[in-house]
Amino acid sequence: MHKNIEFFRFRRLRKTENLRKMVRENFIRKEDLIYPLFVVPGKKVKKEVPSMPGVFQMSIDNIVKECKEIEELGIPAIILFGIPEEKDEIGSDAMSDDGIVQRCIREIKKEVKDLTVITDVCFCEYTSHGHCGIVRNGDVDNDATIENLAKEALSHVKAGADMVAPSDMMDGRVKMIREVLDENGFTHIPIMAYSAKYASSFYGPFRDAAQSAPQFGDRRTYQMDPPNLREAIREVEEDIKEGADIVMVKPALSYLDVIKTVREKFNHPVAAYNVSGEYSMVKAASKMGWIDGDRVATEILISIKRAGADLILTYFAKELVKKEIIL
């Protein structure tokens, strides 16, 4: 060893797991996680989604059991997606006080007292055409749709939802929902807006889980164009002006730059959705023995956290917490 060569020994602080933990810059806590659930009609239903191993469509009775376990694990929140018995052109079940999600919320709240129940506010799971609102002349009518979105959000909150999360990407929907909630005495209910939701190919497995694939065309006239970053900042800024309490970027893994930019420009809490395609790729590669699935999942989540997300919606939440991989 040449004694005149000077350098800093970074490896000193990597020597042991304890040392690595002591100087670790970013952490994932179970309190950072939101776990998505899919409720379907029937009883004693627990059907695995073929493209999402470990993720299930469940009837209300099994959703309640699942929520009890999630609460016991210390995961603070779920986001609930509903698949109705019948779909129609306007997604009536989404707005009905007797809709699948509304009934599920009431049953959860009877049995699970401290879990935060967030609801997805959209129409793609409820409409016969699979688009996120009222279709006229082959496209979604923005202004007619936001009126119905506000009705849907209000019905969720009346049923007991703790937070609503509009995911439709219609212009002005946060303002409309905020006004309707406030007019009905729900000024205390927060809105987590899907503010920068891209028209992504990573959503494929979710459409199996939620049975929400569009029957014609695609969603590029209302979801964002993936190459755009400045537009995302404008979307987030507008949602904050309209009353969003939390802003979200979706997907997460290919949009870490968007998460980082949103974090740097705004003081609002930032959520990111680690979406179905990101989940399923890890599961598929792990099944083939090509990767260590748990470690890759954790690495993905920490990258989302490091980019600036405060909250992460992820299908990995339950299994990683159960294995005590992220605490």
Other Cβ atoms less than 10 A from the Cβ of 61: the count is 15
Catalytic residue among 250, 283, 305, 318: 250
224: nearest Cα among 239, 237, 240, 235:
235
CA 168/CA 199 separation, integer angstroms: 11
Rg from Cα positions in the chain: 21
Q: Is 197 a catalytic residue?
A: yes
**Three-class SS of residue 54?**
strand
- Maximum C-alpha span of the chain: 78
Burial class (CB in 10 A: 0-12, 13-18, 19+), 151: middle
Tokens 């993936």, residue located: 226
Catalytic residue among 87, 197, 283, 318: 197
Distance of CA 288 to the CA centre of its chain: 27
Token reading at 121: 């506010």
Is the separation of the CB atoms in 229 and 257 below 8 Å?
yes
Q: Is 250 a catalytic residue?
A: yes
Catalytic residues: 197, 250
